[in-house]
Amino acid sequence: MTLDVPAHRANPAGKPAGRIRQKNEEAILAAAEEEFARHGFKGTSMNTIAQNVGLPKANLHYYFSNKLGLYLAVLSNILDLWDSAFNTLTVDDDPAEALAGYIRAKMEFSRRYPKASRIFAMEVISGGECLSEYFSQDYLSWFKGRAAVFEGWIAAGKMDPVDPTHLIFLLWSSTQHYADFATQIARVSGRSRLTKQDMEDASDNLIRIILKGCGLTPPTN
């Protein structure tokens, strides 16, 4: 699923202008992510983003017509990443391998894209108005499809009978916690910041705790 983001201008395949456009869009999204994470939607200005990218404000509007479109594009990027790690889940998969792989993927997203995760969290906490289209019937169908996979594993005796809905909530919250509350975790751990090794250690522990709670044996690496 993707958000209904206003379309950017088409990129002619293989032409230098297309590659420049793609590079500029990536720079704009990175700068927007930084500003939205720091100041929220209302506190962020298109002019500041343009200045940080080194583009005139008029050029910024060439790629994204308004601030809402840019905000939705930032949200869409992280949501697409999160969904991609869960889209191919099937009842034929080994639950221990599938869940361990999903946890590691989500933790890597938290490590690489912590600001985008925080933007999503702030949006949801504030009421999720900009995500209303995302949380549509299509999304509910997708969510029920993921839950149905867990139900299939349970029915086949592959894992203990746990509530699939709450398991998915636990998978989401536990992995995104390491992005949204990284400062708290680092300070409690006596560190200035979380390292890649910290995230890998956290992944190992989450896999052990969650899988054992589902009656599964964590896979060996």
Which candidate, 207, 96, 103, 95, places its Cα nearest to that of 150?
Answer: 95
Q: For the chain, what is the mean pLDDT?
A: 88
The C-alpha atoms of residue 180 and residue 121 are separated, in whole angstroms, by 7
pLDDT band per the 50, 70, 90 thresholds, residue 221: low
Considering the segment(s) 73-213 as one domain, its CATH architecture is: Orthogonal Bundle (1.10)
Whether residue 8 has pLDDT greater than 50: no
Per-residue pLDDT reduced to its tens digit, 56-89: 888 888 899 899 999 999 998 888 889 888 898 9
Instruction: Please give the pLDDT value at position 4.
Output: 40
DSSP secondary structure string, 127-156? Answer: T-GGGTTTSSHHHHHHHHHHHHHHHHHHHT
Q: Name the segment(s) of the chain with CATH classification 1.10.10.60.
A: 16-65
Task: State pTM to two decimals.
Answer: 0.84
**pLDDT number for residue 157:** 97
The CATH number of 16-65 is 1.10.10.60
The segment(s) of the chain belonging to CATH 1.10.357.10 are: 73-213
- CA geometry: angle at 127 spanning 123 and 132, to 5°? 85
CA dist 214 and 93 (Å) reads 15
Residue-wise pLDDT for 160-214, tens only, equals 999 999 999 999 999 999 999 999 999 999 989 999 999 999 999 999 999 999 9
Instruction: Tell me what pLDDT residue 5 has.
Output: 39
pLDDT, residue 9, reads 34
Read off the pLDDT of each residue in 124-147 and give the average, rounded to a whole number.
Answer: 88
* Per-residue pLDDT, 156: 97
